[in-house]
Amino acid sequence: MNNLYVPGCALMSYKPYLADKLIQFLETRYGRPESFYTCCFQKPDISPDTRILTPCVACMDVYEKRGYTVEFLLSDIARSNDFPFPDYGGMTMSIQDTCYARKRPDVHQAIRLLLERMNIRIVEPQATCSHSKCCGQTFYGKIDTSKVEDLMRKRANEMPCENVVVYCSSCIVSMMVGGKKPRYILDLLFNEETDMHRFTIDDWNRKLNLFKSKHNGEGEVFI
């Protein structure tokens, strides 16, 4: 089976070097895979015998629905015996579950196992896991931006802790708009700070769309 690494548009728009750091983990399990940057929503033409390797829940959801074999890399890392997990000393954080994981208890479990292995204590919001609320990003472009920001603030205010774990890059902006301190899961794994304060919600969506427009060719593969 051919392996194809799909880091996802959001991660590549946020910190592409984190996508590169995952390559070292991939090589120990799958060999050196090809990297694929075309957005999954554009329905790229990929051979049906391809195994998709991705840290992106949206990509996982989209490709599984199209019948592909998908390995969710964060689950692989959570089960790993050799990943160098940083120790956060029992820090207390809340968590925002992405909309794409709402019907994925396996994702909820994997993320929480990762946090446990990093010695992070989670205080769940009232609406969490399968009952998690949208951070507001999915409404961008459909309603006024000011109303999207209101939704982001409303969701952020439901978080019991100042530090909020997110595993969708767009949720970073949402928690930041809402006045919380977002902690992106890959930043936590690689001991990085999560910072998007230079972005407004419009800036972030322009950046996302720019990446997608630059990588919109069918079969666009990079070694």
Residue-averaged pLDDT of the chain: 91
Q: How confident is the model at residue 221 (pLDDT cuts 50, 70, 90)?
A: very low
In this structure, is residue 173 part of a structural domain?
Answer: yes
Q: What is the pLDDT of residue 223?
A: 32
**The two three-digit tokens of residue 186, written as one number:** 């890959």
In this structure, is residue 139 part of a structural domain?
Answer: yes
Same domain, 59 and 102: no
Q: What is the pLDDT of residue 45?
A: 86
Q: What is the pLDDT of residue 217?
A: 58
- Cα–Cα distance, 160 to 175 (Å, whole number): 12
Do residues 115 and 93 touch, judged by C-beta distance below 8 A? Answer: yes
Instruction: Quote the strand ranges of 66-204, DSSP E.
Output: 69-72, 91-96, 120-122, 163-166, 181-184
Q: What is the pLDDT of residue 141?
A: 87
The span from the first CA to the last CA of the chain, in angstroms, equals 17
Q: How confident is the model at residue 51 (pLDDT cuts 50, 70, 90)?
A: very high
Q: What is the pLDDT of residue 193?
A: 94
Q: How confident is the model at residue 175 (pLDDT cuts 50, 70, 90)?
A: very high
Same domain, 106 and 54: no
Same domain, 211 and 157: no
In this structure, is residue 84 part of a structural domain?
Answer: no
Do residues 192 and 18 touch, judged by C-beta distance below 8 A? Answer: yes
Same domain, 181 and 98: yes
Same domain, 54 and 132: no
Q: Is 88 helix (H, G, I), strand (E, B) or coil?
A: coil
Same domain, 6 and 57: yes
User: Range of 163's domain?
Assistant: 91-199
> Which tens digit of pLDDT belongs to each residue from 112-145?
999 999 999 999 999 999 999 989 888 888 999 9
Same domain, 210 and 193: no
Instruction: Quote the strand ranges of 20-145, DSSP E.
Output: 34-36, 50-54, 69-72, 91-96, 120-122
Same domain, 49 and 148: no
Same domain, 189 and 213: no
Same domain, 193 and 212: no
- Cα–Cα distance, 101 to 82 (Å, whole number): 26
pTM score, whole prediction:
0.91
Give me the amino acid identity at 24: Q
When comparing pLDDT for 206 and 199, which is higher? 206
Q: What is the pLDDT of residue 222?
A: 37
Same domain, 132 and 214: no
Same domain, 9 and 105: no
